[in-house]
Chain A
């Protein structure tokens, strides 16, 4: 699992960490019952305040995504379904795209239409390069 944060991202750092862990769950680089990196490890790696890592882990625990095993660390919970995480991740991405569209004076319909169009173009291009 690779957790990447960006200082110029409009989301607060703890929020970025939460989204990154959700992303790792969805793409499958971490699975239920896997341990998260320790607070010390992640804080040192990302050069951030350990309290920020703790805040992210605390919020994820509150949402039931992870749980704390006393004295052992924080582990990914065995969610009944990973679907809600996919939905949550998709919603977070969609919200960011919507805000960006609004800043550029675009309507929701224009954005959705453009996403469809871009996706089909990507597909076509991908089809051409794949033998």
Chain B
């Protein structure tokens, strides 16, 4: 594993700290000693294949799922022992399609939700409702998936939580609602200092917002890295190589191999000039060294080769 791909963020105040979280569901291991730190103020994008443990991670922070081992903290509050205090600072957009109050109207549901949060901002809730085109008179149980999602977003944001946990927040949203959600989140971040932890499969939807990336595989983070560092050091090299090219001579760590025959496109962990020099020294003709956007970086890291 490339060590620099896991930043511990020990020098920064943490909004979330998970230490050695373990959880099994029967034969299935959801979390296998998860170490995760979300720096305060970050927009942390958590990615991973289905079943990698994303939802379990978020639920552990809310103490909704009992862990088999390890500890989690939110703003230095232990999530189990001081759960109520921790949850008071969290806005949560759940993944599940649970409809616990199907008979309530949306307005009644929001009023019920507001009662739990002293920081609930009535006028902000109304503004969010307008922006997300929510019809407060409708019965919650009769909403479509996308409509329910929009209500959940209002529930999560209107008390201006210090920490926002969002599990696949754009799931079920139509393209217009997605776009509104992105604008709304950008506005929210500009007005309210918030740490955000988003689990998502659709990284392109948070391309402009995310500034930290966590890649979860088999219940562990294989990468936890700031976008700035990714932009500097994760590059794709397009080059032509001789027949029977021996890549063993390459002096930079390879994240992902691509291309075919004599034309290759490899993603490596290195600064641009250093990468070009390394490939040239190894006998390749370098055509281009390019930066990856967040979505491309995610794909490369998800497919990252295990260290030999």
Contact = CB atoms under 8 A, between A and B. Distances in A.
A49 interface: yes
Given A43-B190, A48-B186, A103-B288, A7 B293 contact: yes
A20 B278 CA distance: 33
Interface in B240-297: 287-288, 290-291, 293-295
B183 A44 contact: yes
A7 B291 CA distance: 11
B182 interface: yes
Contacts, number: 60
Contact of B43 (A7, A44, A49): A49
B207 A40 contact: no
A64 interface: no
Contacts of A104: 287
Contacts of A102: 287-288
Contact of B209 (A8, A11, A48): A48
A47 B183 contact: yes
Interface in A22-41: 39-40
Contact of A7 (B204, B211, B288): B204
Given A12-B231, A49-B211, A43 B189 contact: yes
A114 interface: no
A52 to B, nearest CB: 7
Contact of B208 (A5, A8, A40, A99): A5
A10 B295 CA distance: 13
Contacts of B191: 40
Interface in B175-221: 179, 182-183, 185-187, 189-191, 204, 207-211
Interface of A: 5, 7-8, 10-13, 39-40, 43-52, 99, 102-105
Interface of B: 43, 179, 182-183, 185-187, 189-191, 204, 207-211, 231, 238, 287-288, 290-291, 293-295
Those 10 A-B pairs whose CB atoms lie nearest each other, nearest first: A48-B208, A40-B190, A47-B182, A103-B288, A50-B190, A103-B287, A43-B186, A44-B187, A7-B207, A44-B186
